[in-house]
Amino acid sequence: MTAASPPAPALPTDWRDFFALTKPRVMSLVIFTGLCGLLAAPVPVNPVLGFTAILCIAVGAGGSAALNMWWEADIDAQMKRTAGRPLPAGRMPRESARDFGLVLSVFSVLMMAVGVGYLAAAVLAFSIFYYAVIYTIWLKPRTPQNIVIGGGAGAFPPMIGWIAATGEITLMPILLFAIIFFWTPPHFWALALFVETDYAKAGIPMMPVVAGRHSTRRQILVYAVLLLPLAMLPFWIAGAGVVYGASALVLSAIFLVLALRVAVFRQGVGETDMGPEKRLFAFSVFYLFALFAALVADRWIMG
């Protein structure tokens, strides 16, 4: 963040711009994985308290997203993909985004504590701190491993959902955390490969910018190889049933094949042709949705 700020907008900020600060598209994945963590837990959940838990996860994610946009307004202004956001476009004073993010964050943690439980609230508070401070302020501008460690922020929702339902941290929520943690680098690096120029322009040390395309593709493959056995662990050792096991095996195998096409088997595909990367990125989104849906289906079908 720098001292320079865009000029104050002439009109008051529209509520849609505040909503945009919460990154609604990212929030949909957060809500989905949080809900899956809640529904996959082996205990009945009061619908009102379950709804409250998911609402708190969503509001907390929105708050940390607003803090992220507040801090990165200068960087966003330099990238085509993010230049139209409310702050770089000058539709909102910078302080409004900061205050909005803080209010949402504090509110979500307090409501989780009062309505659901202290352990879930503590993990939610840590997840907001992790994303807004450890990832956004500390790691993202400093290391090409930003995505690896920052991926932890996106890995919290299913864990919080599970803890909200059961009130304790067991092996399964840790595995759910680990699956998203290891899924994040290949997902984001595939994206970073085909928007590389934008990140380079903004001075963000994304892996393709710092280590080059070849090294990034090899690392995508490493994470895809690790993801397959990791995704199977809930079936092997944590009590998930055959519906989840079969789904995890098939989905992870396809993920691995697509990663192999990115990193190894590029016959007929040039170094600058990003077709394999785009296919891997698109599938990675489907992968996470399908894997967690299979976990819930398994719990509700197999009991």
Partner 1 sequence: MKRMTKFPETDPEAERKRIIKQRNLMLGGLLGAMVVLFYFISIARIGG
Question: Between residues 115 and 141, which has the closer beta carbon with respect to partner 1?
Answer: 115
Write each residue from 2 to 31 as x if it is in contact with partner 1 (CB under 8 A), else as -, in one continuous string: --------xxxxxx----------------
Identify which of 249, 242, 245, 256 has the alpha carbon closest to the alpha carbon of residue 284.
256
Q: How far apart (Å, rounded) are the C-alpha atoms in residues 36 and 162?
A: 8
Rounded least distance, CB 16 to partner 1, Å: 9
Angle among Cα 298, 128, 190 to the nearest 5 degrees reads 65
Stretch 112-131 residues interacting with partner 1 (CB under 8 A): 114-115
> For residue 168, what are the contacts with CB-CB under 8 A and spacing of at least 6?
119
Could you say whether residue 52 binds partner 1 (CB under 8 A)? yes
Tokens 């995890």 label which residue?
248
Write each residue from 176 to 205 as x if it is in contact with partner 1 (CB under 8 A), else as -, in one continuous string: ------------------------------
Count of chain residues binding partner 1 (CB under 8 A): 14
Only segment of 42-50, 122-130, 142-150, 207-215 that touches partner 1 (CB under 8 A): 42-50
Could you say whether residue 49 binds partner 1 (CB under 8 A)? yes
Query: Contact, 180 vs 54, CB < 8 A?
Result: no
Stretch 59-88 residues interacting with partner 1 (CB under 8 A): none
> For residue 68, what are the contacts with CB-CB under 8 A and spacing of at least 6?
23, 101, 131, 132, 136
List residues binding partner 1 (CB under 8 A).
10-15, 46, 48-49, 51-52, 55, 114-115
